[in-house]
Amino acid sequence: MKPIFVLNGPNLNLLGLRQPEIYGAETLADVAARCAALADDLGLGIDFRQSNHEGALVEMIHEARDAASAIVINPAAYTHTSVAILDALHAFEGPVIEVHISNVHKRESFRHHSYVSLRADGVIAGCGTDGYLLALRRVATLLAKGG
């Protein structure tokens, strides 16, 4: 089976350093390692990536059309602004799960709207970095059902 793309948006490269009271102490490399271990248990492959650039994320999603069976995405700030990422996700046919480490609904009102949610099959927010693992479990269920 094709891998699951786990895509991360801007500033998530600073996970563990940036506002740890909101985003926690784990680094993105820690999260990637936990995702890889769970994916192994679930019999899935993952391709874990991060970019600070909207166009780079759009191109990763285009690549996923042929190269991924599902997408788990934390678009970070682009969640709230990017029609381009939404449109790219609309061009991807497999399951899409949107993840936010923090509970965006408990925060500033500009974080309450998500363009990506117009395409996502599921949304996980406020579960810390465990949200990525929950998303992978959900993807495993959806793929087992045939997408």
Binding site members: 74, 80, 87, 101-102, 111
- Burial pattern 112-147, b for ≥16 Cβ within 10 A else e, equals eebbbeebbebbbbebebebbbbbbebbbebbeeee
Alpha-carbon gap, residue 138 to 52, rounded angstroms = 26
Among this protein's residues, is 112 annotated catalytic? no
Smallest gap from residue 43 Cβ to ligand DHK (A): 27
| Distance from C-alpha of 86 to C-alpha of 130, rounded to nearest angstrom | 24
Beta strand 96-100 with 122-125 is parallel
Residues in 69-128 that interact with ligand DHK by CB under 6 A: 74, 76-77, 79, 100-102, 104, 111
Q: Which is nearer to ligand DHK, 62 or 112 (CB)?
A: 112
3-state secondary structure of 142: helix
C-alpha 45: how far from chain center? 15
The reply to whether 2 sits near ligand DHK by the rule CB under 6 A is no
Q: Residue 24 CB, nearest distance to ligand DHK (Å)?
A: 10
105 catalytic? Reply is no
Nearer to ligand DHK, 49 or 111 (CB): 111
Residues with catalytic function: 23, 100
Residues that bind ligand DHK (CB under 6 A): 11, 74, 76-77, 79, 100-102, 104, 111
